[in-house]
Amino acid sequence: MALFTSFLCLISVVASQLAISRSETYIVHMDSTLLPTPFSSHHHYYTSLLTSVSNYKHSEPIYSYNNAIHGFCANLSPNELNAIKKAPGFLSSTRDVPLKLLTTHSSDFLGLNSLSGAWPVSDYGKDVIIGVVDTGIWPESKSFSDNGMTEIPMGWNGGCYGGTNFNSSLCNRKLIGARFFNKGLRAANPNITLVDSARDLHGHGTHVSSTAAGNYVQGASYFGYGIGTSTAPRARLAMYTLGYTQEDGFYSSDVIAAIDSAIKDGIDILSLSIASSGLLYEDPVSIATFAATQNGVFISKAAGNRGPSLNSIDIGAPWVLTVGAGTIDREFEGTEPQKVIGKIVLCHANEYEEDDAFSVAENFKGSGVAGAVIVVNALDLPTDEIGFPAIFVNGGNGKLIQDYVGGSLHPTASLVFAETLCGMKSAPKVADYSSRGPSPITPSILKPDLIAPGDAIIGSWQEQRPVNLLIQGNRINSFAVASGTSMATPHAAGVAALLKGAHPDWSPAAIRSAMMTTADFLDNSRNPIKERGSNRAATPLAMGAGHVNPNKALYPGLIYDADTQDYVNFLCALNPTSEQIRMITRSNYNCSNPSIDLNYPSFIAYFNCINGTKSVQFQRTLTNVGKRISSYSAKLEKVEGFEFMVVPPTLVFRDKKEKLSYLLNIRGPCLRNGAVLHGSVTWVENEGQRAVRSAIVIVNA
């Protein structure tokens, strides 16, 4: 203790002698095994350390982290940071950076029903706890009523700490927890005015929460659109509200604190519709979710909204399910009966080079026109809100309207809204904005993992903010339509809750495998899933394994499992420094068997050579979760010009949980730059109906 006290005195003197520069907020990673022993807690040590290096009274850390990472967050000058780096246990520090948002009928489209499948088998996800890290929650929404809910599960360690205008009585047997985290945002913006509350002042968090685990709401609709019932499983909800501004978004320190708390509280599923940043050992989301996975938490994470460009995927961490956005078979339409209501403008948006269809609609606001018919040159019509009485029509219908207008002395029209049509189009399609792989962070892992409903999704909304900010005047509604991988992520989280309810002993990797290997790669017309806006079939770089199918995922037959050591082996193969890998693992680690070939439910092979041919080999291990005695044969969807070989071609299981391995060999010519080819390997049950499919992508990227 005397030696450490001397160290504190030394660095205190050093800090006081150096000029104090402008402070910034840092997240400091520490090795807990190297911390001095005399302190009663990590927080006590961090406080003493900060006091020793600081020349100002705020010696307490902004946050102390014990679960998601080991370390703390503090506002430090460059000189203070340099002093901290000399302290026992220091691993690394990163600046606290802002992260952005990735902004009912869908349950029917997923095939969920009360008669058979994932809902009744899982008892609607009963007692599975979904944590949501987002902008907050509107607790009075009917989606968060606890009607029909049983008592709170015994394993729940959290509480209701809602803060301002959020009494603890607003939590119930559905919304079982609420906390808020905004110290990082406040530290970065000392003069900002914030409300210390878990209440949602934006709407995004309420929307995704209701999608993941909202209760039954009769007549859920958005101004007459999508009339019906908003249904979600009987899972529980815990909200971890982040401080948020439109300019900065969230701060990493707050995100880590939220996940740190969620792990301690005992959640089962974590839904993250926020952006990531940087390499695995730099990205706070990747680091914190590694710890959550170690604690048995399944992570559903948005892929990002930077599509359709390749290499735009938001996160590459192999321990999370990366979710892209797909469309569903619903359209919100206006109709044109032959009555005159004001003057309506016919406009061809595809004649404009700079303004898109939404900008064209925006230009009409305040002009006195009653409405607009906007012709767009696209195969799929926009579905987002525009805040103006208008409808979009494609070129064919636009020509019919143009011919009518041109051939009539007194053309008349009106717009009648609030018609919802289901089953009217082939679906799903991959949304154009949904980010694409390969992952620039972990190119050896095929991302995204799958797609889920994310386009024009109706969900609950906070009831004091207009649901459409473009509209003139305030239009308040209990539900809103939103699109993005943000909306797809809670769908996947809800499906994971159903599987966790049906199979409580499954690992996060087992749940991910079941969802991926049973995903639909054909649309509702039994044709390959396409990319929205084109007739091109979507590749796994856009849709991953395909569109999630909860009823098929319930009984996959075989799974690709992985544990913490498997992920450590993968990290070791990336050649990080010792400090970098300890930032993620938070403990001692074993790098004796590094392998980039993780036991993942998909494959990506790079043929980046210039001339000749190349061979790539993968090894995978399957675990039997189906019938005790069963056999499976490999069925290959090959790529022209390439040889696929599976060894052995048949797997015979003689017991449940038995593990058997196989090799996949791919041989073929070097590819031109930018080439993307794809096939699959499917293990088909010889005396049953199970089919375990894994996508294969061959690229030069």
Cα distances from 596 to residues 84, 223, 276, 282, 289, in angstroms, run 34, 51, 22, 19, 20
Residue with tokens 């996959």: 556
HSE-CB for 330 with a 13 A CA cutoff? 26
- In 571-584, which positions are buried (b, 16+ CB within 10 angstroms) versus exposed (e)? bbbbebeeebbbbb
8 Å CB contact between 632 and 692: yes
Please, how many CA atoms are within 13 Å of residue 225, restricted to the half-sphere of its CB?
Answer: 21
Distance CA 314, CA 439 (A): 8
Active-site annotation holds for 356: no
CA torsion 511-517-519-525 (nearest 10°) is -160
**204 among known catalytic residues:** yes
Q: Could you please report the per-residue DSSP string of 526-554?
A: SSB-EETTSSPBPPHHHHTT-B--HHHHT
> Which of 42-51's residues contact partners 24+ apart within 8 Å by CB, and which partners?
42/66, 42/70, 42/72, 43/72, 46/71, 46/72, 46/74, 48/8, 49/8, 49/84, 49/87, 50/74
CA distance 236 to 213: 7
Cβ-in-10-Å burial (0-12, 13-18, 19+) of 107 comes to: buried
The strands making up 558-559's β-sheet, listed across from edge to edge, are 558-559, 613-624, 659-669, 643-647
Contact predicate 72/35, CB 8 Å: no
Assess contact for 449 and 516: CB atoms under 8 A: yes
Residue the block writes with tokens 């809800």: 494
b/e per residue 488-520 (b: at least 16 CB within 10 A): bbbbbbbbbbbbbbbbeebbbbbbbbbbbbbbb
DSSP-derived letter for residue 216 is: P
Backbone dihedral angles phi then psi of residue 676, each to the nearest 5 degrees: -135, 115
Q: How far is CA 458 from CA 235, 451, 558, in A?
A: 19, 17, 34
Spot the catalytic one: 209, 486, 630, 680: 486
Mark whether 43 is an active-site residue. Answer: no
Q: For residues 8 and 444, give the distance between their C-alpha atoms in angstroms, rounded to a whole number.
A: 45
Q: 70, 105, 204, 678: which is the annotated catalytic residue?
A: 204
Q: How far, in Å, CA of 512 to CA of 243, rounded?
A: 30
Rounded to a whole number of angstroms, the CA Rg of the chain reads 27
**Token match 């009917």: residue?**
142
What's the length of the chain?
701
Residue in 31, 127, 134, 561 annotated catalytic: 134
Alpha helices in 439-505 (DSSP H): 485-502
- Catalogue the active-site residues: 134, 204, 486
